Amino acid sequence: MNLVVDIGNTSVKMAVFQNNSLLHKLIFPLSDFSNNFQKIKIQFPEIETTILSSVVKTISKEKKLLQRDTYFFELTQALSLPFENKYATPATLGKDRIALVAAAVAKFPKKNTLVIDAGTCVTFDFKNDKEEYLGGAISPGLEMRFKALHNFTANLPLLKPGENLELIGGSTEASMTSGVVNGLLLEIDGTIASYATEYEDLTIILTGGDAQFLSVRLKNSIFANSNFLLEGLNYILEFNKTQ
């Protein structure tokens, strides 16, 4: 049984896998790490192996806890990956993007796959049918776009995406929402269309915190999977067990 730990900028995701099946998932602040780890260990005493991915550098206590109680892997450049990384600057490739590509290999082997992660940033990551990772794009996410309008102007309010979306905004708030949300939807649909002209039989995955909000509004046919990154980390862990 595997424990997958993803420490992000705002929260920790901790998931238990039996082979490739997700059994349990928790999301909590980093300050509650020790308590939640102990709870999961009690609930799932069969956990033997852990993989950690973190964007936070000061996690020595958390890492020591995992190393003490489980057979430990950390997602670094030293780990073997189930795809050929053709990124020009592999040392700068984010761990989240690595995990997403690994999940694409696991779920859609030998298929051209574009993974779109809609979170703080919107990332586009592409692997071809030869299991080669070629790269992608990074763009501001929904919240970042709303904050930019507020922070870099004198009078525009700070908004969050709502359910009411108009093409022609009849007020300042409606105009901002139309610009941000419709702009991002058109960006994603346009990017998908560009990839589709270059690569046949393209599979599209949408994940991240804003995936559900965006998926019902996009024109393209996509697979929405909120656990895609965790599944990718688990696949990397399983892949390294056999090395």
**Segment 227-242, tens digit of pLDDT:** 999 999 999 999 998 8
- Domain hosting 32: range is 2-74
Do residue 69 and residue 88 come from a single domain?
no
- pLDDT for the residue 164: 82
Q: Look at residue 243 and tell me if it is in a domain.
A: no
Do residue 88 and residue 65 come from a single domain?
no
Do residue 65 and residue 100 come from a single domain?
no
Do residue 174 and residue 208 come from a single domain?
yes
- From CA 41, how far away is CA 102, in angstroms rounded? 26
Residue-wise pLDDT tens digits, 163-200: 788 999 999 999 999 999 999 999 999 999 999 999 98
- From CA 183, how far away is CA 199, in angstroms rounded? 24
Do residue 97 and residue 197 come from a single domain?
yes
Q: Look at residue 211 and tell me if it is in a domain.
A: yes
- From CA 191, how far away is CA 14, in angstroms rounded? 32
pLDDT band at 110 (very low <50, low <70, confident <90, very high): very high
* 127: its two tokens: 């692997």
Neighbours of 36 (CB within 10 A): 16
Do residue 89 and residue 197 come from a single domain?
yes
Q: Look at residue 241 and tell me if it is in a domain.
A: no
- pLDDT for the residue 58: 82
Question: 172 a known binding residue?
Answer: yes
Last residue of a domain, one of 74, 103, 130: 74
Do residue 91 and residue 69 come from a single domain?
no
CATH number of the domain enclosing 162 = 3.30.420.40
Side-chain-side CA neighbours of 25 within 13 Å: the count stands at: 14
- pLDDT for the residue 177: 95
Q: In which residue are the tokens 């024109």 written?
A: 219
- pLDDT for the residue 146: 97
Question: 120 a known binding residue?
Answer: yes
Question: 11 a known binding residue?
Answer: yes
Question: 96 a known binding residue?
Answer: yes
Q: Look at residue 238 and tell me if it is in a domain.
A: no
Residue-wise pLDDT tens digits, 21-73: 999 999 999 999 999 999 999 999 999 999 999 988 888 899 999 999 999 99
Q: Look at residue 29 and tell me if it is in a domain.
A: yes
Stronger pLDDT, 179 or 20, i.e. the higher one? 179
Residue-wise pLDDT tens digits, 192-230: 999 999 998 999 999 998 999 999 899 887 888 999 999
Last residue of a domain, one of 74, 107, 136: 74
- Residue tagged active-site, from 32, 69, 96, 129: 96
**Number of structural domains in the chain:** 2
Do residue 29 and residue 113 come from a single domain?
no
Cα-Cα-Cα-Cα dihedral of 206, 211, 212, 218, to 10°? -70
Q: Look at residue 136 and tell me if it is in a domain.
A: yes
Last residue of a domain, one of 40, 74, 108: 74
Q: What is the DSSP letter of 197?
A: H
pLDDT band at 161 (very low <50, low <70, confident <90, very high): confident
- pLDDT for the residue 56: 84
Q: Look at residue 180 and tell me if it is in a domain.
A: yes
Do residue 102 and residue 46 come from a single domain?
no
- pLDDT for the residue 79: 93
CA geometry: angle 115, 121, 125, nearest 5 deg: 25
- pLDDT for the residue 47: 96
Residue-wise pLDDT tens digits, 70-90: 999 999 888 999 999 999 999
Q: What is the DSSP letter of 58?
A: -
pLDDT band at 139 (very low <50, low <70, confident <90, very high): very high
Do residue 122 and residue 37 come from a single domain?
no
Question: 117 a known binding residue?
Answer: yes
Contact 101, 127 (CB under 8 A): yes
Average pLDDT, rounded, for the chain: 94
Do residue 188 and residue 228 come from a single domain?
yes
Q: Look at residue 148 and tell me if it is in a domain.
A: yes
Which residue, among 81, 23, 95, has the nearest Cα to 52 in the 3D structure?
Answer: 95
Do residue 69 and residue 89 come from a single domain?
no
- From CA 16, how far away is CA 65, in angstroms rounded? 17
Residues 6 or more apart whose Cβ sits within 8 Å of residue 128: 112, 134, 199
Is position 96 annotated as part of the catalytic site?
A: yes
